[in-house]
Amino acid sequence: MDLFDECRQFDLALQSVKARNRFFYSRAISPAAAPVTTRDGRELINLGSNNYLGLTEHPKVKAASAAAIEEYGTGSAGSRLLTGTTPLHLEMEKALAGFKGVEAVVTFSAGFTALSATVGTLAGENDFIFSDELNHASIIDGCLRSRAKTVVYCHNDMADLEAKLKATPAQAAKLVVTDGVFSMEGDICDLPNLRRLADTYNCRLMVDDAHATGVLGRTGRGTAEHYDMEGKVDVTSGTLSKSLAAVGGFTGAPRVVTDFLRYNARQSVFSASLPPPVAATVIAALGILQSEPERVERLRSNARFLSRELKAAGFALHDHGTPILPIAVGGDDRAYQAAGRLEQEGVFANPVVFPAVPTGQAIIRVSVMATHTEDQLRRAVEKFTLVGKELRIV
């Protein structure tokens, strides 16, 4: 046996998929997060990006990043504990804490890292974690690393969660963790009942706001604002790479919790800090989000329009009031066919297949931006309809 045997087997399978024109991942597009992008010299309406508010191209955001490069250079070259803290990092964390309505924030090099580090560091081998079955892979990774007893409950099923909480020793330390907006289906967690159960069974409650920040709530503050429950979530984590136009992740909580994570999470202690231009980008993006709240409503308006038009065209999709619109297409091969034909017709969209979704329930995952025009979305619907009829999806 050779350590690379599995790699070679994977490569054979990968080359076979590519030869059959069934590989639609890692496609190089430019710009990657614009409403209209290009691939191989062809323009495509981009319905695959999580740049929900369109801030990656905002002039003030780009100017802030460029100015930070001039002053601080391109990277920090050190961990936050040593040489990787600048005034911009402190300002960014203060701005994030104010926006999310928490006492303090600690930032990480990626959203995935923020979630896995927070779950994996807060819970230990004698503790219990209750995790929604559709939680993001970063949460699952954190559960595994924590060595806590992980109990998976049925998706958004409060009766199942309560039954499992009842079966847990009352004196045990417990964490209930959930996505705020679930990344594939686009539905929203049942925060009021999660809070009720957490209070009843003496649990801490953690919400991943990766797809909720800039999306949910009147001003885009996230899941808690959506339910008018700000201040009722014990730990809030998320990413800086979607609505906030950068890269990295954050966790907001009482200061004693964020300090504990900052100085105990291996992902914080042993990682280089975010580059100063990233911190400047986040600060600028937060400023625009707060000064231009109409972007949040424009995002919702675009999502409503696209959902309505796709349904009218005969597509089966679930609309949960978020910019994530999963279109049911059937088997994995059908999803690959649809993605390929859509690209030929000028639309970039992502196929999602098993194991990200159950076998035989593949989707085309559409995500909308505030900066899409109605004309762009209408043209995209025309192309979806053409491809949908051709492949007998509608």
Q: Where in the sequence numbering do the catalytic residues fall?
A: 183, 211, 242
* Residue 303 structure tokens: 């999502």
Q: For the beta carbon of residue 183, count every other beta carbon within 10 angstroms.
A: 22
Would you call 238 helix, strand, or coil by DSSP?
strand
- Spatial strand order of the sheet with 149-153 comes to 104-108, 249-253, 235-239, 204-208, 174-179, 128-132, 149-153
Q: Kindly give the residue spans of alpha helices, DSSP state H, lying in the chain.
A: 5-19, 59-72, 87-100, 111-122, 137-146, 158-166, 191-200, 223-226, 255-264, 266-269, 276-291, 294-312, 332-344, 374-390
CA-CA distance, 296 to 53, in Å (whole number)?
Answer: 7
* CA dist., res. 44 & res. 38, Å (int): 6
Which residue in this structure is represented by tokens 């706001």? Answer: 209
Task: Give the Cα separation of 359 and 352 in Å (integer).
Answer: 11
Give SS3 for 311.
helix
Separation between Cα atoms, residue 393 and residue 374, nearest integer Å = 24
